[in-house]
Amino acid sequence: MADDQRLAILLAGTSSGSGKTTITLGLLAALRNMGLTVQPFKCGPDFIDSGLHQLACGRVSRNLDLWMMGEAQVRETFAANEADISVIEGVMGMFDGQDSSSAALAKNLGVPVVLILDVRSAAESVAAVLKGFETLMPEVAPVAVILNRVASPRHLELVSGAIRRHCRAEILGHLPQNIDFVMPARHLGLFTGEEQPISPEALDTLAATIQAQVNLERLLELAAGAALPPAKDVPARHGVPVQARIGVARDRAFCFYYEDNFDLLRAAGAELVFFSPLEDQDLPAGLHGLYLGGGYPELYARELSGNLGMRQAISDWAQSGRPLYAECGGFMYLTEGIVGEDVGVLPMAGVFPVTARMQKKRASLGYREVRLEKDCFFGPAGTALRGHEFHYSVIDAMPDHIERVYAVNSSVNGDDSREGYRYNNVLGGYLHLHFGYNPQMAVEFVRACRPAGPVGEEK
């Protein structure tokens, strides 16, 4: 292998629920056990899978989303994270999502595809499914498959024989139907990495199963077929001297962040200071801006409500006129309260005069494009931003005296709505914005947070 060649593979699925995440985690851990440095990625906007990847291989996982980030930012993010091998977990079925699909990403990056083929309740017909995946977009046809949920030796014989007779993709291995590994889940999906839902022992067992059942040496050979630009050809992200200290809420309740957002803020001159609204009684000293990301505040509503010191600190910050950006779960924390199932309203920071109520059905899901209608700390009116929305909670009707800063357009149905609620210098809403689509927004936010004097000399 040439010194500048990079190994990469994309694990796609035939559909959601085909076993991508389980096999990805096992593969990440198995490759790490082989002594390789493994860089994980997640196709699409999902936060949770990315957090689980880090548990398996010890490296921060990055999202790669062509629609939300743009092609240039995807390629930069991918190439800037060097490792012995890069492993991308796909999203939904291989072709689902059109321009943001796993297939589109594999084509854009020149990464070979290994298809996770769920064979339960089928035998020879599996070959027809694989044949379709090979012919729909021949330029990204799967080079190999891993068979999942094989019921018996006879089942494996029938499936494997049909594939070898009718398909080009080779079989790297299989996982049995009764594998002793469970991925715990709830309303927004799987449990997050911050909650440590998978024990080291369970990961070791899964990795051992992958090592025993999948030909990893052959997988590495196939990964060498990636047609990637050498990392040296990709411009590095150079930071500037620290211009502002931005506090970031990060704990079990607030854990949904795009790592690229952090990178872009640092490159724009931000020092990020992490704190916990669950555990800390006050904000860290010397901050110039706040960033409250998404997560599961509804699951920790009692603890968040009971932390009176932090609630008051956030409320005081909002009244001070200093910049605060909050999205989804962070936005819920800024309401008057979260409605609990048994105890009514659990008070929160009380910045926005509404309450947030959880529903049993999903309230919103999909890509969103934002166009600023008013100047704000992300840029001037007319600026375009992109992100993703996924939540089960709803809020009361926001009073008219609260400003709406931007129009949100659904990429699916084209409906417009007004969001980006602003109070003083607080901007909040349900949308998770990815700064990569418009990196200037990180520059603008840091500039808005920057103190009048040198950082560190505030009194």
Q: What is the mean pLDDT of residues 281-287?
A: 97
Q: What is the mean pLDDT of residues 420-441?
A: 96
Distance of CA 97 to CAs 118, 147, 223, 401, Å? 20, 23, 24, 38
Q: What is the mean pLDDT of residues 271-297?
A: 97
d(CA 348, CA 186): 23
- Return the amino acid letter for 320: S
- Euclidean distance between the first and final Cα of the chain, in Å? 57
pLDDT tens column, 373-391: 999 999 999 999 999 998 6
Domain boundaries, the chain: 7-233, 244-449
Q: What is the pTM of this model?
A: 0.89
Residue 175 above 90 pLDDT? yes
Phi, psi of 266 (to 5 degrees): -65, -45
Tokens coding 186: 């709830």
Domain at 7-233, CATH from 3.30.2020.30, 3.40.50.620, 3.40.50.10490, 3.40.50.300: 3.40.50.300
pLDDT tens column, 92-139: 999 998 889 999 999 999 999 999 999 999 999 999 999 999 999 999
- Judged by average pLDDT, the poorest of 4-13, 118-127, 254-263 is 4-13
Question: Fold identical between 7-233 and 244-449?
Answer: yes
| Percent of the chain whose predicted confidence (pLDDT) is above 90 | 74
Residue 209 above 60 pLDDT? yes
Contact 86, 28 (CB under 8 A): no
Q: 327: pLDDT confidence band, cut at 50, 70 and 90?
A: very high
Q: How many CB atoms lie within 10 A of CB 16?
A: 11
pLDDT of 233 reads 45
Residue 186 above 50 pLDDT? no
Domain 244-449 - what CATH class? alpha beta
Residue 172 above 80 pLDDT? yes
User: Is 328 an annotated catalytic residue?
Assistant: yes
- Judged by average pLDDT, the poorest of 88-97, 202-211, 408-417 is 408-417
* pLDDT averaged over every residue in the chain: 89
| Percent of the chain whose predicted confidence (pLDDT) is above 70 | 88
Residue 222 above 80 pLDDT? yes
pLDDT of 1 reads 42
- Judged by average pLDDT, the poorest of 245-259, 304-318, 348-362 is 348-362
Q: What is the mean pLDDT of residues 32-57?
A: 92
Residue 238 above 90 pLDDT? no
Phi, psi of 453 (to 5 degrees): -105, -175
pLDDT of 49 reads 85
pLDDT of 353 reads 96
Residue 229 above 70 pLDDT? no
- Catalytic pick from 57, 328, 376, 449? 328
pLDDT of 393 reads 83
pLDDT of 232 reads 45
pLDDT tens column, 340-369: 766 689 999 999 999 999 877 765 678 999
